[in-house]
Structure 1
């Protein structure tokens, strides 16, 4: 049976990703012609939530299938499924993006994690790492897993010292802790329900404090580089864990309903994720459109979001009707 909470969280995270990409033109991307400090701060906050949610969901579903259904016991079949689901679409769309935007991207960057497709490559490598470690973490206590996550979070800042990003190694270091958090969520379903009954109102406090402090840090810039580094690579990630964990536990009480739109968005989430970004890049790559987008910085992101979401949703739905759609979307 489909986990509706997972579907709602995935769709919510996807919407945040689209909004994030619609605002990146205003100072986040390296080649941004203009900078809007408000949009940059919002992007920092959204980016601390959206992608971690995707990796947590992936870890949750992986552990749930491995531990409760035995679906992933055969490593060879598991690897084949993940290569089909992640690597082949990565190669397909990576080549397409390089051809479509030949002046913006280079084929060699596919070894590092091309554009927004880095997510597919990173997730594939994390799946392989965690699956190879499964005999270790399966027997670990939840407390031991929490310590492991804590250690991984502390060493993630070291990625800034790595001079290369082969196979998205920097993103792997950044998001591996969140994948393990998803595993903890899967293994702690019963205890979460107990915690929810006993500490229902108290859980709102860390959620509100986490959101408030994270937003403040995303907009605050110190004159001391070390403080900014600690804030970006350690404090904000810890706050994102508090925000997502509190939200996840609190949402256990919600009786999620099966809604057709949510179901369709969830079913097409990967296609929407891939295609919406391509549409945005196509828009800002057009000289006339880029001037309009830069000038009308309030209306343009809204239109980019609406058009990008609806168009990518429709394209993904149409592509899924074809026989070999699972190989590219």
Structure 2
């Protein structure tokens, strides 16, 4: 397993700096370049690169991320997907280049053979991407209605598994700290299947309580603020189990609980999502749902290359499974 020392050596900073960056310590005074370098090194060292060699491809692919650089560093989910694309592209000898949605125009896009769109795009954005006349594969949502190949994770099954696990451990008061996202252009709220499944499954077991659900932006600061709000509003009725929308949010949730001297997992059990590198370095280490972001990126590139070879291929929706990684933050 990669250690904080390994990350520090690779990034060229001290162990304490790595620890504070991985825990999103806002009191640490370091430049954004250093923060990005440490987070990227931690993710890359966690990622197991494959050594397959395939004949070189002449294709050039554009990776279109919907998040800004700053947003990407506060929630590393999309960065992990990008690594999966880049690693598979290196094995295939395919050239990839990251471009922002705002920077795309018909002139610049001409040099590419296809687009991998990573994130949650609204109708205006998808329509624009399609207008360039290039093959497009989307990662994150179901875009079959647009006749586009797409890949997403199975977020419904792990929600039911998490709730069942809490109940099996004697926890029937279950809360959720959920993330909220808006599309860039139309500012539309993005539906989170985890919230829908959480609500429906708890209602089916007659355990649903809408006062136990808090939502805000993804990221550690939001997680910190939302858990503080829950602690203040619920007091002794604070749920004994919480499902958290992302590991980054969970870092903030942990900080809030620790500042209030609430024991994890003795008083509150936490289970989050994504299994980015930081999940292993928190104290306690996070129980989390491992989302196979690297596989999503790899399959997206393969789908796009198939689409380039066969433009008339029937569009596909691929749903990638997940795994629950049991660590110290839950019973």
Indicate the structure with greater strand content: 2
TM-score (norm 1): 0.23
| Larger RCO (CA within 8 A; separation ≥ 6) | 1
